[in-house]
Chains A and B, each alone.
Chain A
Amino acid sequence: MELAEDWLVESLRLYQDFHAFDLSGATRVLEWIGEKGVFVAGYESSKKNEILHLILPLRLSVKENQGLFPERDFKVRHGGFSDRSVFDLKHVPDTRLLVTTGLPGCYLQVWQIGEDNDVIEAVSTIDVQDREKSLWPRVSVFSTAAPGILHGTRLSGLKTVDIESQKITYSSGTSDSESLSSLQVLDSDTFAFCGTSGRLGLVDTRQKWAPLEAFSPSPDSSGQRWCADVRNRGQGPGPCVASLGSDGQLCLLDPRNLCHPVSSAQCPVSKSSPDPELLRVSWAPGLDNCLAISGFDGTVQIYDVTSWDGKKSQVESLFTHKGHILLDGNEIDATPLVTTHTWHPCKPRTLLSAASDASLHVWDWVDLQASC
């Protein structure tokens, strides 16, 4: 307990705000709905999992007079049960629909959020072309007037299905069998993909398959698994694609020239990610040139990449969140693994992070260097 109390004292200096919760089951999902709600979902394989729609504590949502709001708890606004493990969940904007994916990976499940009750119900499924035992389809949403679900386990099986009519509105039509690590819709006609080998591409759905592409980042990084995140446009100059390898290598790329990374660096991680499926890199929506990485251990690391160029051998994180390890004073060998993290859409330095011990943290870190 000593260690925990020490860290609590330290946290007074490190965080503006800090909330810690215990979910009934660990989640790999943290998907926003508006600014005040998030979805979490369980990923156990042997029992029923819960999908929860949580409303952020009032204290975090109000803009003024924060001190007069004592509520610090999450409210479970809606809940549902899934027989399958849920590895990813996407909310279809402007609808009451959700899409989940997991293992077994032969179909996507579509859910509806109850209107006058608090139940999330399964309503339909979307078949997936590639049915492979250990692969699960990645998902992203085209939030057009008729929303379409982009999904696939490999580039060859990439499709967009209209959620209402279940008709296929786009098919990659390629025989490229690269397995996918992430999919990200950028606007109504383009999406980005990241293969597990590190291949990155930007695809225009109006054209025949001819993605703007980058091949594996560098020859000596074979064997690593990769994931990526594309920053929103209009967030300032500089590279907007970040890719993260399971050994801790972080590459920044410009979409106009995906073949040559603008910069790459080795992040100080003590070991390779024990589960590369949990790797996550995300750009901060409210800060210039800041991104967060997780999936190596029980921490979330934040980097300021403003002046990064070329190959950097040594980089230091702007901030490292150690709450999942230190809050309860766990033994070293029992440290949890951070399963996912996400930035708050409006509060610039607030993040949510979840770990394998079912903990969920909401934290607003203090920029001790005050430059980001």
Chain B
Amino acid sequence: MPEIRVTPLGAGQDVGRSCILVSISGKNVMLDCGMHMGYNDDRRFPDFSYITQSGRLTDFLDCVIISHFHLDHCGALPYFSEMVGYDGPIYMTHPTQAICPILLEDYRKIAVDKKGEANFFTSQMIKDCMKKVVAVHLHQTVQVDDELEIKAYYAGHVLGAAMFQIKVGSESVVYTGDYNMTPDRHLGAAWIDKCRPNLLITESTYATTIRDSKRCRERDFLKKVHETVERGGKVLIPVFALGRAQELCILLETFWERMNLKVPIYFSTGLTEKANHYYKLFITWTNQKIRKTFVQRNMFEFKHIKAFDRTFADNPGPMVVFATPGMLHAGQSLQIFRKWAGNEKNMVIMPGYCVQGTVGHKILSGQRKLEMEGRQVLEVKMQVEYMSFSAHADAKGIMQLVGQAEPESVLLVHGEAKKMEFLRQKIEQEFRVSCYMPANGETVTLPTSPSIPVGISLGLLKREMVQGLLPEAKKPRLLHGTLVMKDSSFRLVSSEQALKELGLAEHQLRFTCRVHLQDTRKEQETALRVYSHLKSTLKDHCVQHLPDGSVTVESILIQAAAHSEDPGTKVLLVSWTYQDEELGSFLTALLKNGLPQAPS
């Protein structure tokens, strides 16, 4: 039965731990392998036992695809490949391949060093996992095997994020991962062609939201920074080198210029080098504007933003500092935080989610007293601001993407069906497609009608044309032929040709039917009567009376014989080949009706 099966893995309805199993035309693909950041135990990993209860997964999966480097999409990858066991290919874009291991290692350090976790993947496991990665370019069709192919599309959202099309024969599925339909200051908007997949799989987390405009988010950020520096305070912005840092720097630079501000903005050096390196590598992944300016100058040669020196943290007066790492869990950002936390004029702006166990997570939960190394207690008097800059598509964005790709069906993951009934109706009405909303662990089966191309032999076509009526585009036409299947090709040929190709002899099937007639005359006369009757009735057919007394209608043979027991009854033997079935049946019925009275 041709069908596509989709199962989002894991228990519960929470976001995070993106991991979707797709079965398409016998191929099994795993989409993303995320970690649930809210849990500390096994619940943070997807439930791989669904694939198989016993051990390694290599034989059960044809490939794994990772959409982007966020931990809720790739955080469980080393666990999956090295601890559960998978040796097949893992596909992702080049930037994702470069950045993933960095984030995984950071995360590992926090989990093991900060939280003292035991059963966690090691640095070596991360390395071994990445060896299985096959990097892909945008819009490049990659053959996973001779039937399965994949293609990546630009998704916006973060550097290297992609949407993937998975195709087997004429069946295809598109998985969006996280995407964004509005461009921002350093990334473009997601785009896909009218690829008309059987199914489009997308997140529903933000499907029921209406997003606040980018300008207002920026405004809020600027306002907070501005107010702080105006009152002489210092602003700390802990960032990940390749996250929102670029976006925020460009923003501050633009407005510092406009507002003619002299307050210094610093960028910690480690950040600059790393960022420059990756942006140079992946310049094609940024938006037009960035690419244009990049040609002219170095990414981080801003007028108002300078390299930071650790001694600057002690300088009096207002300043803004971007420093790594992003969750305040170690390094320079934590050092600066410790120096500035005690002053209520200062502010720390957290631009993203922080993992449990980090200082970032603690202060975002409202904690104002932190226990640092050596039992030291740090009182946090500085203002704490949590700002979200991550760009996800909202209800409007989803509608836009569905409109672009034109799928036959849509599947939304990570949502509660009851809470999204309105959205389902909206999608179904606007696009006339079915919309599915499986719970985690629930399988959705989509029947598909694959189109199988069959070549028809010219000879057969010509023969059909000769038969009369020309083929009509809208009316189906019944054709008789023989289907020859060889390797992956299907051909429709005439029976004779098929027999010839196969070296088979044609068998003739002949049917004989007995029709009883009341006739006292001799057989020859009965035959003559039959002949006259048929000749006058079947004006369109060739009726002949043969010298041996038998009558033929086309190729059908009629012979008259006397009944063995009753001389008054004559038996007509009507015989025909399988090909003449129709005429044969007709003749038999006709004769059964009896012969007209012979003129005496």
Contact = CB atoms under 8 A, between A and B. Distances in A.
Interface of A: 4-6, 8-9, 11-12, 17-24, 48, 50, 54, 57, 65, 67-81, 114, 116-120, 327-328, 360
B364 interface: yes
B423 A67 contact: no
B250 interface: no
Q: Please indicate which of the listed interface residues B209, B258, B259, B383 has the most CB atoms of chain A within 10 Å of its own CB.
A: B209
A118 B419 contact: yes
Contacts of B222: 8-9, 12
Contacts of A75: 208-210
Q: Please indicate which of the listed interface residues B213, B365, B395 has the most CB atoms of chain A within 10 Å of its own CB.
A: B213
9 contacts: A6-B258, A68-B384, A70-B387, A71-B388, A73-B206, A73-B210, A76-B210, A114-B421, A118-B419
Given A24-B399, A69-B386, A117 B364 contact: no
Interface string B373-408: 000000000011111100000111001000000000
B386 A119 contact: no
A12 B224 CA distance: 9
Contacts of A328: 215
Contacts of A17: 220
A8 B388 contact: no
A21 B210 contact: yes
B182 to A, nearest CB: 10
Interface residues of chain A: helix, strand, loop or mixed (majority): mixed
Contacts of A69: 386
Nearest to B385: A67
A67 B386 contact: yes
A19 B209 CA distance: 14
Nearest to B386: A70
A76 B226 contact: no
Interface residues of B, number: 42
A12 B226 contact: yes
Contacts of A77: 208
Q: Please indicate which of the listed interface residues A11, A72, A80, A116 has the most CB atoms of chain B within 10 Å of its own CB.
A: A72
Contacts of A24: 395-396, 399
B219 A72 contact: no
Given A12-B226, A18-B216, 5 more contacts: A22-B213, A65-B366, A76-B422, A78-B422, A114-B421
Interface in B198-249: 206, 208-213, 215-220, 222-223, 226
Q: Closest 6 A-B residue pairs measured CB to CB? A: A79-B422, A70-B388, A72-B212, A20-B213, A74-B210, A73-B209
Contacts of B365: 68
Contacts of B255: 5, 9
Contacts of A116: 418
B141 interface: no
Interface in B166-220: 206, 208-213, 215-220
B133 interface: no
B429 interface: yes
A5 B396 CA distance: 25
A118 B418 contact: yes
